[in-house]
Amino acid sequence: MKTALVTGASRGIGRASALRLAKEGYRVAVHYSQDAAAAREVVEQAGNGAFAVQATLGAPGAVEFLAEQVRQAAPTLDVLVNNAGIATGKSLSEETPGGFDQVFAVNVRDLFFLTQRLLPLIPDGGRIINITSGVTRIAFPGSIAYAMTKGAVQVFTLALAKELGPRGITVNNVAPGIIDTDMNAGWLRGNPDMQAYAAGRHAVGRIGQVDDIAGVVAFAASPDAAFITGTTLDATGGGNL
């Protein structure tokens, strides 16, 4: 049985992606930061020998701790989904050095070094999938540091795809639009005006659901995507077309 690691898999897009990959037959490593109960629930729903791994990305030693848990549980890692991330929601004038450093630590630095440490486990023909965002092609000054982190990940994806191509390992981005997740709940849920605004940003005329993104992740992990690498699978529902 093939193994997949999904970071930030206790909720939102990560949870949906973990469950979808389990449905496709993968044994899923469900990474979480704080909510052990939520991670256990995902593990139970996933079945297929799924297991939870804990690490607070952005904290010292988190990458090494997480990578070691995966190494102990799985001799090979066929799919790595770098989904975990945080947002600051601040403009240039509002952002602080601490907030800037933290969002880059989680979204860029630890993604980079986790991939580095897990790469020896990824066999030829494996998959690396990075969750980025539609903000890499849409001006988003209201959360400028967050948008910058996703741009950095896109550059990482491009370079890594070139490096790993000879081994048949594909590296792609999946870029969601506005998705109904806990991260967006504060401004989206229970606010009809904001829901209408968000839906209106998408050509398809609705807010995205986590399963919309999980399906794209599953495709990127599948044999059908073997000839796609170094690119972004735009899952924004036609955001800002």
pLDDT at residue number 228 = 98
Q: Give me the percent of the chain exceeding a pLDDT of 90.
A: 94
pLDDT at residue number 24 = 98
Taking a C-beta distance cutoff of 8 angstroms, is the pair 87, 146 a contact? yes
pLDDT at residue number 50 = 98
CA angle 47, 51, 66 (to 5 degrees): 155
State mean pLDDT over 109-121: 98
pLDDT at residue number 190 = 86
Domains and CATH numbers, the chain: 3-181+209-234 (3.40.50.720)
pLDDT in tens, 35-81: 999 999 999 999 999 999 999 999 999 999 999 999 999 999 999 99
pLDDT at residue number 182 = 83
pLDDT at residue number 132 = 98
Average pLDDT over the chain reads: 97
Torsions phi, psi of 176, nearest 5? -75, 160
pLDDT-based confidence at residue 187 (cuts at 50, 70, 90): confident
Look-up: residue for tokens 């690498």? 229
- Alpha carbon distance 162, 150 (integer Å): 19
- Alpha carbon distance 174, 150 (integer Å): 11
- Alpha carbon distance 56, 110 (integer Å): 10
One DSSP character per residue, 5-56 reads EETTTTSHHHHHHHHHHHHTT-EEEEEESS-HHHHHHHHHHH-TT-EEEE--
pLDDT in tens, 213-240: 999 999 999 999 999 999 999 999 999 9
pLDDT-based confidence at residue 185 (cuts at 50, 70, 90): confident
pLDDT at residue number 63 = 98
DSSP state at residue 180: -
Angle between helical axes of 110-118 and 62-73 (0-180°, round to 10) = 30
DSSP state at residue 2: -
- Alpha carbon distance 38, 49 (integer Å): 17
pLDDT at residue number 184 = 86
- Alpha carbon distance 77, 55 (integer Å): 18
Query: Looking at the annotation, which residues are catalytic?
Result: 146
